[in-house]
Structures are given as C-alpha cells and as structure tokens.
Amino acid sequence: MAVGIFDSGLGGLTVLEAVSKRLPDVPFVYFGDNAHAPYGVRDAEDVYQLTTSAVARMWEEGCDLVILACNTASAAALRRMQESWVPTNKRVLGVFVPLIEAMTERQWGDNSPPREVAVQHVALFATPATVSSRAFQRELAFRAIGVDVEAQACGGVVDAIEDGDLILAEALVRSHVDALKRKMPHPEAAILGCTHYPLMEEIFADALGPEVKVYSQANLVAESLADYLGRHPKMVGEGQNSVFLTTGNPRVVSNRATQFLRRKIEFVSA
Ligand code: DGL
C-alpha cells in the first residue's frame, strides 16, 4: 500500500512531511520532477504532459491515489486529468480545496452554497501559472462571497529554492510581499499557494507582520488525506515501500531535501 505525493520539485516535501507524521503507517511514494522544475513558468499543456507522465510512473509504483502536492499542477492540469485521463480505479486529488475550506470555515466536502465569511481581504502568493489560472478565486467563489483576493505572482522564488539559494529566495519573498502590500495594504489573511513557500514561511510571516494570518497547506492537506483514507481505505494502493523518485540528479536532490527536512532523504532516479 502506498499513496503518491507529486510535486515539480522539492516543495511537495512540505506536504510529505505533514502527511507522514499524520499517517505514520502509510508508505508514501514521493515524485519530484526536478529536471523540469519550475512548472510555474510553463503553459498549461506542458504542465499537463509532465504531470500525467509522472503520475503514470507512480501508478507503476503501486499507488492508487496520488496527491498533486503542487498548486501549479493542481491549477493547470488536475481538472483535465480527472475528466479524461485518470482510470476509474485510481484517484488524483489536488491541494487547494482543503486550504480554501479551512479559510472559509467549512467542513471537508461541505458543498452548501457560498456564504459570507470572516476574512474579506486575502493576499494570495503563488507561481505565475497558478495566479494566471485564477483557480483559487474560482474555488473560493464556490464557497464564499464578498472576499477580495489580491494575487502576487512570485517569480523566481521556486528557482531559488530548487537551487538551494535561500538568501536570494528571502530577498525575493520580501520584495513580493512589498509589491502585494502596495496593492492591498492591509490583508487579513495570506495564502501560501505554492508548496515550496512553507520552506520560507517565517520570512513571509515576518514581512507580512503579526496581524496577518498565514495559511499554508501541509497540515490542512494531511488532515484532509487522513479523513479521505478513513472513508476510502482501499485507496491506499498496493505498493509496500516508501520511495523518493526524481527526474533530476539524485545526489543533488537528496542533498537539498536532506537540508530542507533536516533528516536524511535518499532519492533515486525515476
Ligand atoms: N510547488 C509547486 C506549487 O505548489 C510548483 C512550483 C513550480 O514548479 O513552479 O505550485
């Protein structure tokens, strides 16, 4: 039994860490498409082709359920995959619905009509592809009314994190927060809409100030997955082993992952 966790690179490790803690008995197959990261500057067709080929590889590894721990793939490819690509005995789930449900104070799967919620001014930080898809705003509009979302496309941050250049990543985060604040001076909440960004969460929180509540996905996705597997125990697939797959250089990717998670992580070639 194994559940797949997919990302364009290292960002999905923030989700992997949370789901492994929440579900310690479930083996996870992690796939980082590091050779093709970042996805955030690619077009939707490209993201769809890369994501489907990675997920097909995860089926081979014994996964029946794959979480796209990548907002860019969730925004650009998930709906098309679910409509016409995923076999009937498999499931692919994305990462923004749990986050939006938490922000709009909903229980999992509450599909009641949209209503007014406590937060009205929300800052969204995400990749250029996620921002231009407007997928967050679409999902939010199904659940809440009267919420003003200001989105900031955070160009360069994923590349800097993938390259291990955290000084550059910090400078970019601070300049993206400044740019956002020029458009929306007093957000009440900030969404880190890219799974790479929790690696810089302290910098986002510091630059935004203590009055802004920062929502990041890892723990919300872990709760949501635990709930889903409680209701669909058979979706834990047939794979028996946890494994870390990458399309990049396994040695370089293992070193970066070990540095980020502060425990030994060993990737092998996908
Ligand atoms: N971590 C991913 C996301 O959540 C992908 C970032 C990228 O590859 O640009 O959007």
CA 211, CA 59: separation in Å to the nearest integer? 44
Return the pLDDT at 180: 98
Catalytic residue among 70, 75, 203, 212: 70
Task: Tell me the pLDDT of the chain (270 aa) as tens digits.
Answer: 589 999 999 999 999 999 999 999 999 999 999 999 999 999 999 999 999 999 999 999 989 999 999 999 999 999 999 999 999 999 999 998 888 988 888 877 788 899 999 999 999 999 999 999 999 999 999 999 999 999 999 999 999 999 999 999 999 999 999 999 999 999 999 999 999 999 999 999 999 999 999 998 898 999 999 999 998 888 876 666 789 999 999 999 999 999 989 999 999 999
Taking CA atoms, 257 is separated from 9, 124, 130, 218, 252, in Å, by 10, 26, 24, 16, 9
End-to-end CA distance of the chain: 19
Return the pLDDT at 107: 77
Fold of domain 2-94+218-269: Rossmann fold (3.40.50)
The domain spans of the chain are: 2-94+218-269, 97-215
Taking CA atoms, 17 is separated from 12, 60, 202, in Å, by 9, 23, 17
Report field, pTM of the whole predicted structure over 0.75:
yes
- Residue 38 CA: nearest ligand 1 atom is 8
Q: Residue 158: CB within 6 Å of ligand 1?
A: yes
- CA contacts within 13 A on the Cβ side of 225: 35
Q: Residue 37: CB within 6 Å of ligand 1?
A: yes
Return the pLDDT at 1: 59
Which residues, listed in sequence order, are joined to residue 148 by a DSSP beta bridge?
121
Q: What six digits make up the tokens of 14? A: 């923030």
Q: Residue 162: CB within 6 Å of ligand 1?
A: no
Which residues, listed in sequence order, are joined to residue 115 by a DSSP beta bridge?
144
Instruction: List the one residue out of 53, 102, 247 whose CA is nearest residue 162.
Output: 247
CA 43, CA 244: separation in Å to the nearest integer? 26
Return the pLDDT at 239: 60
Class of domain 97-215 as given by CATH: alpha beta
Which residues, listed in sequence order, are joined to residue 149 by a DSSP beta bridge?
122
- Collapsing DSSP to helix, strand or coil, 28 comes out as strand
Return the pLDDT at 97: 87
